Structure 1
Amino acid sequence: MREHDRLYIGGEWAAPAGSGTIDVVSPHTEEIIGRVPEAVPEDMDRAVAAAREAFDHGPWPRMAPAERAAVVARLAELYAGRLGDLAELITAEMGCPISFSQLGQTGQAQAVYGYFAELGRDFAWEEERPGLMGPVTVRREPVGVVAAIVPWNVPQFIIALKLAPALIAGCTIVIKPAPETPLDGYVLADLLTEAGVPEGVVSIVAAGRETGEHLVRHPGVDKVAFTGSTAAGRRIGAICGEQLKRCTLELGGKSAAIILDDADLAATMGWLKMASLMNNGQACVAQTRVLASRNRYDEVVDALADTVRGMKIGDPADPATEIGPLVAKRQQERVEGYIRIGQEEGAKVALGGSGRPYDRGWYVTPTVFAGVTNDMRIAREEIFGPVLSVIPYEDEADAVRIANDSEYGLAGTVWTADGDRGLEIARQVRTGTYGVNMYMIESSSPFGGYKGSGVGRELGPEGLAAYLEYKSIARMG
């Protein structure tokens, strides 16, 4: 069992202001595997004060960008040496299969640090433009103190999405991990210190929702970067709007995978099971609406059911496991509730639908629904578990219409033997990311969503721009 009695505030290990603790419970065994202090508003005040002091008077924002990039590159190097440890820790905390932890939880995070370190060395921090009265210097300056609020489903990757560009930009940052996954943040804190991040620049303070809202409202915070539910994002966006505070919101999804009639179903299913059920279905980009033409509908339903049936469910630490437990009992009950709702709405269970695969652990039987219409709740609401809905379409135009008929617009895919045809479909679907015969989040390209899936973008140069203010300096002659 891992126990910590300090909080990482401004680069130092500090005693918490309160006496509360957070128990970390294994989703596989339901046993306590860790304990950390629960931060209270006074702790957040100290973290913001440290960040404010470091931004207003410290060396970090005043370093040459190449110097900051060198520190982030060192962090990426150190992080690479802890990939295995971090992957095992995250799997223990929240139950995702170890194979996904190694790739999507830690491998992707390390790649993000490496990408932004390289971008920071070559980025155009100033440029000259012609003006009516003389030249204009356009500067890009750090936005200030950042509050980063991170969910439990992909904790290290999502921290990296915010921490890496904030550091490169010259910002200081207070990170609030979710109560379900606070342990991996302690490893990251040690790496930040070893990499040479100066005092005050980074704090990592685990806390609950109320203390998180205190951080969002704090007058010392200049920008909020949030990943989580659309409902929570609306509240954070409203607070930031009241205060005219910058914000980036990466929210929910209900993404559609369009299978065209010419698709190779065997090849498609090999990719789609990851695109749809990655992280036990607890992924905002998961392709949980599978769209199939009426010509091949039954064939697609059978192929999808057979594919999911063949996925190994079990101990997430086992490299052979493809679907593990959900993060918490409340999540297990939520997903099982949606499975009942689907049946009540008249959807047909092609696979799963009831029962639990194990008596212990927060497991849910993976479920594939057929006979789903796009107005059903299971097709409209984000379930965040291993539940897939197969929806029929009449023709390609109807498939695009159904894909776009959602309050969300985060991700999507199309599966076809004709890449050009797939690209044309991709151009018509209103989502922030899309894949043709695959799905992947690329460090060099912007990630974010349309509509209820959020505001702003992370990754790529656009992700760095989200942590910058633009200043125009005009001069005569």
Structure 2
Amino acid sequence: MAISASIKVKKPISDFSGPYFLSIAGKLLETDDSFDVLNPATGRVLARAPAATAAHLDEAIAAAKAAFRGWSALSYEDREQYLNAYADALEAQRDDLARLLTLEQGKPLATMAVPEVDQSISWIRKIAARRIPVEVVEETADHVVELHHTPLGVVGAITPWNFPVLLALWKVAPALITGNTMIIKPSPFTPLTALRFGEIAQAVLPPGVLSIVSGANELGSQLTEHPDIAKISFTGSTATGQKVIRSAAGTIKRVTLELGGNDAAIVLPDADYRSIIPQLFWGAVGNSGQWCVGIKRLYIHRSYHEGFVEAFVDYARQQKLGDGLDPTVTVGPVQNRMQYEKLKDWLAEIKANGYKVALGGVVDESRPGFFVPVTVVDNPPEDSRIVQEEQFGPIVPIIVYDDVEDAIERANDSPFGLGGSVWGRDRKIAIAVANRLETGMVWVNEIHTQGVDIPFGGHKQSGLGTEHGNEGRQLFTNPKTILIHKQ
């Protein structure tokens, strides 16, 4: 049943139990089937989300394809006005969107959810002001050669559960400003905020420009295989990214993949390590360790190893694990039972192998929800699973090194190459080390700075293509060379 966007829903957005609808062609649609969305702080059902069928997806793609002609014909300035109106509409619902984000994702409201929503809104406004200008490649007395960047068509976005607002709207803004239309398939673990911002979009953007379809993982495969999808922008695991590439190959789709990471932080021998403990801690444990560019391996020089572990653990003990709606909580639950069970397996393996645990290591399974304590593993072997693989949770291995050359080699000895960081007093030396890390992004004496004009993309198995910056925006376009003979 279709519901007019002007009618919206029967309950205000602050009633987070629903109902929730698909957003297709300017309308809000009910579905025959739905699925449970859990609150990770309680493990109980928060709401039910609509389960889109292949027919719903076909309808959304057809609407996006029809809308593309008019949307791509608009000027940058006209599309900018639409995007700014969308940002205004999101901002009007900012508090409720942030609270809903905490309820479905688990992250602390004040320190994580509100900043995520705010950054997303700011991102839309900043991207809306960006342009890809026509470049004159060559000009002679007889002819001129121009390089244009034309929109691709309908873009499919598949977004993850760790930052369900930010990582979706990071894709929406550059896709739409460059003239594409878009369909988002959010993670089935965290579809609610996407459905809400899709609902808001239907009242602001032309019908078909932005659609949200929620459902099981099979819906993602149908999206990547569909012949009328020109590009897939995917954020998620490397294993799923491999499936996306194979699925998209049949129609030679453009693909941008932001995948897993095993980011190393190298703290150099001259570092004032005590002053950077908070940055390193939150770089690893922020969002309960559930971010692709989180610090997954901390390399510490032997000369201050014991003092570092003591200071790191002392800082960790000051944090409070709990429901993200509690203003005193600084570390929330992990988002879903699947990840919760994986992390319990990690902890069991760490215990079975006799690795030294300086903090945490034991899950209170009598507690409702998916709570994993901050766990510090002191100097596990380099070939251990906790060092070699991506844990994606609040488990931090602190690894001792004696020689910087060895630390660099160990940091690079990974199939991943997403991000990394280097910390030291001598900035020249730190930059030299950063230049040798085989990753798409490296921070020096800071962590997790991002921006609309800062390109971001992984090396090796951590991704394909680039997001953000002019390089990322151009990947939502086709380069088109026009050669003009002068009369």
TM-score tier (shorter): over 0.9
Give the RMSD, CA atoms, in angstroms.
Answer: 1.8
Deviation at 1:104, TM superposition (A): 4.6
Alignment partner, residue 80 of structure 2: 69
Contact 1:26–1:94 (CA under 8 A) maintained in structure 2? yes
For 1:13, the aligned partner's letter is L
Q: Cα distance, 1:103 vs. partner?
A: 5.0
Q: Do the aligned residues in 2 keep the contact of 1:414 with 1:425 (CA within 8 Å)?
A: yes
3-state SS of paired residue (1:239): helix
**Contact in 2 for aligned 1:29/1:360 (Cα 8 Å):** yes
Q: Is the 8 A contact 1:6 1:13 kept in 2?
A: yes
Letter matched to residue 151 of structure 2: P
Of 162, 171, 189, which residue of structure 2 is paired with 1:162? 171
Equivalences for residues 152-231 of structure 1 within 5 A: 152-195=161-204, 197-231=205-239
Partner of 2:323: 315
Post-superposition Cα deviations, 1:285-341, rounded to whole Å, max 9, x if no partner, equal 110200011222222222222222221111211222111111112211100111222
Alignment pair present for 1:427 and 2:440: no
Residue correspondence of structure 1 range 2-401 to structure 2 within 5 A:
2-4=17-19, 6-16=21-31, 19-55=32-68, 58-102=69-113, 104-120=115-131, 123-125=132-134, 127=136, 129-130=138-139, 134-195=143-204, 197-356=205-364, 359-401=367-409
How big is the shift at 1:364?
A: 0.9
**Stretch deviating more after TM superposition (131-140 or 167-176):** 131-140
State the 1:346 CA deviation: 4.2
Q: Deviations over 1:3-49 (max 9, x none)?
A: 22531112211233xx2212111111122111121111111111111
Aligned mates of 2:110, 2:434 — CA distance in 1: 29
- Tell me how many residue pairs correspond in the alignment: 470
5+ long unaligned stretches in structure 2: 1-15
- Structure 2 letter corresponding to 1:12: K
Quick one: distance in 1 between partners of 2:325 and 2:136? 50
How far has the Cα of 1:133 moved from its partner?
Answer: 6.1
Please name the residue that 1:451 is paired with.
Answer: 460
- Check 1:406–1:349 CA distance in 2 against 1; reply closer, same or farther (3 A cut): same
Question: What is the CA-CA distance between 1:126 and the residue it aligns to?
Answer: 5.0
Supply the distance in 2 between the matched residues of 1:147 and 1:40 (Cα, whole angstroms).
Answer: 16
State percent identity of aligned pairs. 35
TM-score normalized by the length of structure 1: 0.94
Tell me how far 1:361 sits from its aligned partner: 1.1
User: Aligned-pair distance for 1:131?
Assistant: 6.6
Distance 1:265 1:70 in 2: 47
Structure 2 length as normaliser, TM-score? Answer: 0.92
Tell me by how many angstroms 1:471 deviates. Answer: 0.6
Counterpart in the other structure of 1:460: 469
Do the aligned partners of 1:341 and 1:378 also contact (CA within 8 Å) in 2?
no
Counterpart of 1:470 in 2: which secondary structure?
A: strand
Supply the AA of the counterpart residue of 1:373.
P
Please state how far the C-alpha of 1:375 moved relative to its aligned partner: 1.6
1:431 is displaced (CA, Å) by: 1.3
Residue type at the aligned position of 2:46: I
Equivalent residue letter for 1:339 = L
CA distance in 2, matches of 1:254, 1:106: 26
Contact 2:87 2:125 in 1 (8 A): yes
Q: Write the distance in 1 (CA, Å) between the matches of 2:225 and 2:18.
A: 30
Q: Does the aligned pair in 1 maintain the 2:270–2:425 contact within 8 Å?
A: yes
Bigger mean CA deviation after superposition, 201-210 or 180-189: 180-189
Structure 1 range deviating more: 319-328 or 103-112: 103-112
Moved more, 321-330 or 2-11: 2-11
- Aligned partners of 2:188 and 2:217 also within 8 Å: no
CA contact (8 A) 2:101 2:113 kept: no
Deviates more, 1:304-313 or 1:160-169: 304-313
